């Protein structure tokens, strides 16, 4: 699955949001990427430079991809 989303978090994806994303993503068996970066890698996400207003592409692939996509979109839409 693939979806585009605009990041609304004031400070983009920094340490705390990256940690929340990794924690959520690690609970799923499928592969999850955000702009091609493994969503289960905190260092990858923290160094991504994703800022407020950026459009990102979220991809999920595997057995629980739909559940993972829904959960990740919910989290990304509610980052602060």
pTM tops 0.75: yes
Q: pLDDT tens string for the chain (80 positions)?
A: 999 999 999 999 999 999 999 999 999 999 999 999 999 999 999 999 999 999 999 999 999 999 999 999 999 999 87
User: Which pLDDT score, from 0 to 100, does residue 80 have?
Assistant: 76
Catalytic residue annotation: 14
User: Which pLDDT score, from 0 to 100, does residue 79 have?
Assistant: 87
Separation CA 47–CA 56 (nearest Å): 14
User: Which pLDDT score, from 0 to 100, does residue 5 have?
Assistant: 97
CATH number assigned to the domain covering 2-77: 3.30.1340.10
E runs forming strands in 1-80: 2-6, 31-34, 37-38, 55-61
- Return the domain boundaries, the chain: 2-77
């Amino acid at each position: 699955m693939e979806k585009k989303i605009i990041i609304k978090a004031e400070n983009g994806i920094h340490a705390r949001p990256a940690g929340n994303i990794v924690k959520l993503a690690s609970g799923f068996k499928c592969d999850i990427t955000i702009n091609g970066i493994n969503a289960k890698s905190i260092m990858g996400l923290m160094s991504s430079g994703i800022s407020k207003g950026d459009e990102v592409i979220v991809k999920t692939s595997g057995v629980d991809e739909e559940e993972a996509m829904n959960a990740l979109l919910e989290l990304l839409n509610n980052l602060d």
